[in-house]
Homo-oligomer: A and B are copies of this chain.
């Protein structure tokens, strides 16, 4: 059962030193909603920090103006921890002690995998972004929102909705953004920061990977790989493979796209996307991974070629399965 914003707001108001804990491998929603909440709490004269355990992606650094710390001792005994866009220990492994030592724990999330197991919880899978939940909470708490808070919420919503194109986008997403304009947000500046600041090495890596796509499953599937050798040749990092799997999915006729990422230790991380009707989370779960119906991932411990065979077979099976169900 979800706690309502009034009760969550009251709990937050009663606390003074607060950690905000977004998930590892932060995306725009994690960082954006955390930045918005952190700024709001500081406006209310709370001691508030976003506690991180890994690097903030370069294109989200503009959201962090002295808001983050990776020092779990920054607050000696936090009254409260707010888990944001994140409801499982595996999403904050190195911060679990800091979370555990907090007086109370609130979880605000929109992932179906999060369970309402904390002191207070608001998990709304209908929200396109955790940023929407934070926005509604800040409204309820009558926070005097400003341009910076607005831009952080905009960053959260625009990234998690794929610029308002994904099926998770709702009427409410647009209503909230319309309201953010009243705060004077510079949505174009946010977009330039997030999308027009690509390292050239990343662009070169994308070029190399996209030059070598395999289409299979009667044109309904696409697969490509990022190897350590490609990273060496382009000077890119594995994080720069971000966005590639969507480009594979964007190919006409492709329903399932997969990207194989060869890790330094030889492990193969697999990222998958479905376009309209297939379920890639089924494939991921079979190999101890997870995710959503249309976006999921897993890891395989084998050679790249072997991993490719396994994943191609799984994809063909899923496509076959859906084909049968369609005509049933």
Interface residues of A (CB under 8 A from B): 58, 158, 162-167, 169-171, 174-175, 177-178, 181-182, 187-188, 191-192, 195-200, 203-204, 206-213, 215, 222, 247-254, 275-276
Residue of B nearest to A164 (CB): B164
- Tell me whether A222 and B207 are in contact (CB under 8 A): no
- Tell me whether B164 and A247 are in contact (CB under 8 A): no
Measured in the bound complex, the distance between the Cα atoms of B248 and A208 in whole Å is 15
Sample of 13 further A-B pairs with CB below 8 A, known A197-B253, A198-B251: A158-B165, A163-B164, A164-B187, A175-B175, A178-B178, A198-B250, A199-B252, A200-B215, A203-B248, A207-B208, A207-B211, A207-B212, A211-B211
Task: Specify which chain B residues have a CB less than 8 angstroms from the CB of A171 in the assembled complex.
Answer: 178, 181-182
Once A165-B158, A207-B210 are accepted as A-B contacts, the answer to whether A252 and B178 lie under 8 Å apart by CB is no
Measured in the bound complex, the distance between the Cα atoms of B252 and A197 in whole Å is 4
Within 8 Å by CB of A177, from B164, B167, B215, B254, lies B164
Measured in the bound complex, the distance between the Cα atoms of B161 and A27 in whole Å is 23
Distance between A138 CB and nearest chain B CB, rounded to angstroms:
19
Task: Specify which chain B residues have a CB less than 8 angstroms from the CB of A207 in the assembled complex.
Answer: 206-213
Measured in the bound complex, the distance between the Cα atoms of B187 and A208 in whole Å is 32
Within 8 Å by CB of A204, from B163, B213, B276, lies B213
Within 8 Å by CB of A191, from B165, B174, B199, B252, lies B165
Task: Specify which chain B residues have a CB less than 8 angstroms from the CB of A208 in the assembled complex.
Answer: 207, 211
Measured in the bound complex, the distance between the Cα atoms of B283 and A37 in whole Å is 44
Once A164-B177, A200-B213 are accepted as A-B contacts, the answer to whether A169 and B182 lie under 8 Å apart by CB is no
Task: Specify which chain B residues have a CB less than 8 angstroms from the CB of A162 in the assembled complex.
Answer: 191
Task: Specify which chain B residues have a CB less than 8 angstroms from the CB of A212 in the assembled complex.
Answer: 207
Task: Specify which chain B residues have a CB less than 8 angstroms from the CB of A166 in the assembled complex.
Answer: 188, 191
- Tell me whether B164 and A196 are in contact (CB under 8 A): no
Task: Specify which chain B residues have a CB less than 8 angstroms from the CB of A250 in the assembled complex.
Answer: 195-198, 203
- Tell me whether A210 and B206 are in contact (CB under 8 A): yes
Measured in the bound complex, the distance between the Cα atoms of B154 and A165 in whole Å is 10
Task: Specify which chain B residues have a CB less than 8 angstroms from the CB of A198 in the assembled complex.
Answer: 247, 250-252
Distance between A272 CB and nearest chain B CB, rounded to angstroms:
15
Measured in the bound complex, the distance between the Cα atoms of B112 and A40 in whole Å is 40
12 A-B pairs in the complex with CB atoms less than 8 angstroms apart: A170-B181, A174-B175, A175-B178, A192-B275, A197-B250, A198-B250, A203-B213, A203-B247, A204-B210, A206-B207, A207-B211, A210-B210
Measured in the bound complex, the distance between the Cα atoms of B222 and A170 in whole Å is 37
- Tell me whether A200 and B222 are in contact (CB under 8 A): yes
Distance between A305 CB and nearest chain B CB, rounded to angstroms:
21
Distance between A276 CB and nearest chain B CB, rounded to angstroms:
7
Distance between A182 CB and nearest chain B CB, rounded to angstroms:
7
The 9 A-B residue pairs whose C-beta atoms are closest, nearest first, are A207-B210, A207-B211, A163-B163, A165-B191, A171-B181, A167-B188, A174-B178, A197-B252, A174-B174
